[in-house]
Amino acid sequence: MSYVEAAISEPLSIGVYAIRLAQMDLTGKKIGILGFGPIGMSVLLPALYKGAGKIYVTDKIRERLAIARQCGATLTLNPLREDVVSCIREKEEALLDLVFECCGQQEAADQAIGLLKPGGKLMIIGIPEFDCWSFPVNQLRHKEICIQHVRRQNNALEEALGLMQNHKIDISRMPIHFFPFSQTREAFDLVAGYQNGVMKAMIVFG
């Protein structure tokens, strides 16, 4: 395995853990991934490997949506330009089985509740910059939505390494920006500013 794969095993293991924590057979299931940074991609790849039927992806960065399509997303949407809930509901009248919130945004949580079918499950992985989430009580009750938070990973690293080592998934589209160690500051600034369609910036040593 390469050093790049070794580094990416950290976010990938979070996605693997989130799918495991959902406790759902993904075969043929319809899934939403709201936010397609490294964590969103780390959910999509193992979800496809585990047989997910359709995966709907949202993000505000055009280049990330292009990567999602290349990786196998069924449909990609930009919430700045499209009504995410309406667009997906047109495609899926029965709504989605499972939604992963991967960006820590209140609007994504609102969209997730609107997209989930009765008995559906919301996995919250994104880390918000606020203290309290807000949820519509009537929709949660009527749909009997289950909400599960995800914090990092637990005993999922070896599975993530195995998926890469055995070529079950391809993470090559995640690191699209590479910097020498001398430009570490520039790398962090790029990621912090979501510049140049960044997905994952890598620091290269040697």
Structure tokens that stand for 170 in this block: 């391809």
Q: What is the mean pLDDT of the chain?
A: 96
Whether residue 134 is predicted with pLDDT greater than 80 in this model: the reply is yes
Among the listed residues 118, 84, 22, 98, the one whose alpha carbon sits nearest the alpha carbon of residue 53: 98
Domains of the chain: 3-149 (3.40.50.720), 175-206 (no CATH)
Stretch 157-180: mean pLDDT, rounded? Answer: 96
Task: Give residue-wise pLDDT tens across range 185-198.
Answer: 999 999 999 999 99
Q: What are the φ and ψ backbone dihedral angles of 16, each rounded to 5 degrees?
A: -60, -45
Among the listed residues 62, 95, 99, 57, the one whose alpha carbon sits nearest the alpha carbon of residue 76: 57
Whether residue 206 is predicted with pLDDT greater than 90 in this model: the reply is no
Structure tokens that stand for 106 in this block: 């209140």
Res. 157 pLDDT band, cuts 50 70 90? very high
pLDDT at residue number 35: 98
- Dist. CA 177–CA 200, nearest whole Å: 7
Q: What are the φ and ψ backbone dihedral angles of 150, each rounded to 5 degrees?
A: -125, 125
Contact in structure between 38 and 177 (CB atoms under 8 Å) = no
Quickly tell me which residue has 């589209």 as its tokens.
173
DSSP 8-class letter at 7: H
Whether residue 26 is predicted with pLDDT greater than 80 in this model: the reply is yes
Stretch 173-179: mean pLDDT, rounded? Answer: 94
Task: Give residue-wise pLDDT tens across range 63-100.
Answer: 999 999 999 999 999 999 999 999 999 999 999 999 99
Res. 22 pLDDT band, cuts 50 70 90? very high
Task: Give residue-wise pLDDT tens across range 35-67.
Answer: 999 999 999 999 999 999 999 999 999 999 999
- Dist. CA 133–CA 185, nearest whole Å: 33
Res. 126 pLDDT band, cuts 50 70 90? very high
pLDDT at residue number 142: 96
